[in-house]
């Protein structure tokens, strides 16, 4: 896990999009697909969801090297 991510840091969809290079719609689609191991959001209020940054870091670390290189750019 990257050292600049704290254990309890929560990201908005825009922060996740910036870190991943994925569009907001792709993040929503992959998060809602039960067959995909993409990190799922957590509901933090009636109209707000966030993604755990440490779950994203673990997900990226579990991907093949080519995907990790693309996400880091």
Query: What's the CATH number where 24 sits?
Result: 1.10.1660
| Residue in this structure with the two tokens 């996740």, named with its chain if needed | 16
Quote the number of domains for the chain: 1
The residue range of the domain holding 19 is 10-72
| Residue in this structure with the two tokens 């995907």, named with its chain if needed | 67
- Decide if 51 is inside a domain: yes
- Decide if 2 is inside a domain: no
- Decide if 4 is inside a domain: no
- Decide if 5 is inside a domain: no
Whole-number mean pLDDT of the chain?
A: 86
9-29 residues labelled b (16+ CB within 10 A) or e (exposed): ebbebeebbebbebeeeebee
pTM score, whole prediction: 0.76
- Decide if 60 is inside a domain: yes
- Decide if 32 is inside a domain: yes
Q: For the segment 11-59, what is each residue's pLDDT rounded down to a tens digit?
A: 999 999 999 999 999 999 999 999 999 999 999 999 999 999 999 999 9
In eight-state DSSP terms, residue 51 is E
SS3 for 45? strand
């Amino acid at each position: 896990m990257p050292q600049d991510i704290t254990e309890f840091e929560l990201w908005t969809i825009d922060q996740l999009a910036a870190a991943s290079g994925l569009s907001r719609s792709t993040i929503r689609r992959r998060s809602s697909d039960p067959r995909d191991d993409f990190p799922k959001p957590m509901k933090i209020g009636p109209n707000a969801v966030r993604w755990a940054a440490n779950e994203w870091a673990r997900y990226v670390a579990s991907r093949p090297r080519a995907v990790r290189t693309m996400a880091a750019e």
